A = this chain, B = another copy of it.
Amino acid sequence: MRAHTDYLTMNTKQRREIVRITGDVARAVGASGVQEGLCLVSAMHITAGVYVNDDERGFRSDLMAMLEEIAPLGADYEHHKTGEDNGDAHLKNILVGHQVVLPITKGELDLGPWQQVFYAEFDGQRRKRVIVKIIGE
């Protein structure tokens, strides 16, 4: 069995931003030498998500709008009694999910034709990390 670990560093310019990371993940898969296995891509923070979907600007906007509708920025969250102001970001993390597991077949990510991997930042403008953990053979 082989195992390989990479940490991607994210530091978005906007508080909320969606960043495509398929290429970074594919490079980690290549570096791992794994031909058949699984690749976990997981945000190491609690106010960011990782998801797979379409690389389309309109969809990114629709996704952010839906999340804002359910868990709006600046609402009166209990979490804010700690002095934090990012209660919405924690909830958006739950709704989107903070991780995906990607199949590796014949040494490459085995994704569908439109599937791309994204990092969704909900409280950015600071350094954060995403772990890419690959196991297989």
Enumerate chain A interface residues (CB-CB to B < 8 A).
Answer: 1, 3, 5, 36-38, 40, 42-46, 51-54, 56-59, 61-63, 65-66, 70-71, 77-82, 87, 90-91, 93-103, 105, 110-115, 129, 131, 133, 135-137
- Count of identical protomers in the assembly: 3
Known: A45-B114, A58-B78, A66-B91. Contact between A38 and B40, CB under 8 A? yes
Cβ–Cβ contact A62 & B91, under 8 A: yes
A82 touches B70 (CB 8 A): no
A105 contacts across to B, CB distance below 8 A: 5, 133
Contact status of A110 and B5, CB under 8 A, knowing A62-B91, A103-B133: yes
